[in-house]
Amino acid sequence: MADSLAFESIGNLASQIRQGALSPVALTESLLGRIDALDKRLHAFIAVTRDRAMGQARAAESALRAGHDLGPLHGIPYAAKDLYDVRGLATTAGTHLLAGNVADADCAAVRKLSAAGMVLLGKTHTVQFAFGGVGINHDHGTPHNPWHRDAHAPGGSSSGSAVAVAAGLAPMALGSDTGGSVRIPAALCGIVGLKTTVGRISRAGVYPLSFTLDSVGPLTRSVEDAALVYEALQGPDSEDETTMGIARGDVLTDLKRGVKGLRIAFGETVFFDDVDAEVEKAVRRTGDVFRSLGAHVDSVAVPEVAEAMSEQKRLLMVAAEALAVNGRLLDEHHDALDPVVSSRMAMGRTLTATDYVAVSRQWSALRRRVVRTLADVDALLVPVTMIPPRPIAAIDETPESYVEHNGKYLRNTSLGNVLDLCAVSVPCGVSAAGLPIGLMIYAKPFDEAMALRVAWAYEQATDWHTRHPDLAWAQ
| CATH at residue 285 | 3.90.1300.10
Answer whether residue 7 is part of any domain.
Answer: no
Integer CA distances (angstroms), 455 to 257, 264, 285, 297, in order:
11, 11, 15, 14
Total length of the chain:
475
Q: Is residue 475 part of a domain?
A: no
SS (H, E, C) 256-303: CCCCCCCEEEEECCCCCCCCCHHHHHHHHHHHHHHHHCCCEEEEECCH
**Active-site residue, selected from the candidate residues 158, 181, 202, 222:** 181
CA nearest neighbour of 193 among 167, 148, 230, 168: 230
Is 474 inside a domain boundary? no
- Residue 3: the pLDDT is 64
Active site residue 157: yes
User: Torsion over CA of 188, 170, 255 and 437, rounded to 10 degrees?
Assistant: 10
Rounded Cα gap, residues 407 and 387, in angstroms: 10
139 in any annotated domain: yes
Give the model confidence (pLDDT) of 33-86 as tens digits: 999 999 999 999 999 999 999 999 999 999 999 999 999 999 999 999 999 999
Low-confidence ranges of the chain (pLDDT < 70): 1-4
Q: What amino acid is encoded at 449 in this protein?
A: A
The total number of structural domains in the chain stands at 1
d(CA 410, CA 434): 22
Tell if the pTM clears 0.95, that is, is over it: yes
Instruction: Kindly tell me the burial class for residue 463, based on how many C-beta atoms sit within 10 Å of its own C-beta (0-12, 13-18, 19 or more).
Output: exposed
Q: Would you state the torsion angle of the CA atoms of residues 272, 187, 445, 319, taken in this order, to the nearest 10 degrees? A: -90
- What local confidence, expressed as pLDDT, does residue 312 receive? 87
- Backbone conformation region of residue 220, classed left if phi is above 0, alpha if psi is from -120 to 50, else beta: beta
**309: closest CA among 414, 403, 153?**
414
Catalytic pick from 23, 81, 202, 408?
81
- CA-to-CA dists, residue 334 to 98, 274, 343, 430, 431, angstroms: 14, 35, 9, 39, 38
**Is 260 annotated as catalytic?**
no
What Cα–Cα distance (Å) separates residue 42 from each residue in 35, 47, 143, 368, 471?
A: 9, 13, 6, 43, 10
Residue 346's φ and ψ, nearest 5 degrees, are -60, -25
Please tell me what DSSP assigns to residue 190. Answer: T
The whole domain housing 121 covers 14-469
- Asked, for residue 6, whether it belongs to a domain, the answer is no
CA torsion sign, 394 to 127 to 451 to 377?
negative
Residue 1 pLDDT: 44
**Interstrand relation of 296-300 and 215-220 (parallel, antiparallel or unpaired):** unpaired
Q: Indicate if 181 belongs to the active site.
A: yes
Q: Is the dihedral of CA 414, 86, 31, 8 positive or negative?
A: negative
- Give strand ranges (E) for 130-283: 172-177, 192-195, 215-220, 263-267
Any domain includes 431: yes
Inside any domain, residue 4:
no
Question: Coil, strand or helix: which one is 216?
Answer: strand
| Distance, CA of 28 to chain centre | 23
* Residue of 9, 23, 112, 157 with catalytic role: 157
Residue 2 falls within a domain, yes or no? no
Distance CA 440, CA 384 (A): 5
In degrees rounded to 5, what are phi and psi of residue 275? -75, 140
Residue 123 burial class via C-beta count within 10 angstroms: exposed 0-12, middle 13-18, buried 19 and up: buried
Q: Is residue 198 within 8 Å of 177, Cβ to Cβ?
A: no
- Minimal CA–CA distance to 196: which of 466, 424, 355, 381? 424
What CA–CA distance (Å, rounded) separates 438 from 126? 20
Q: Which of 194, 200, 183, 193 is nearest to 250 (CA)?
A: 200
Where would I find the beta strands (DSSP E) of 197-251?
A: 215-220
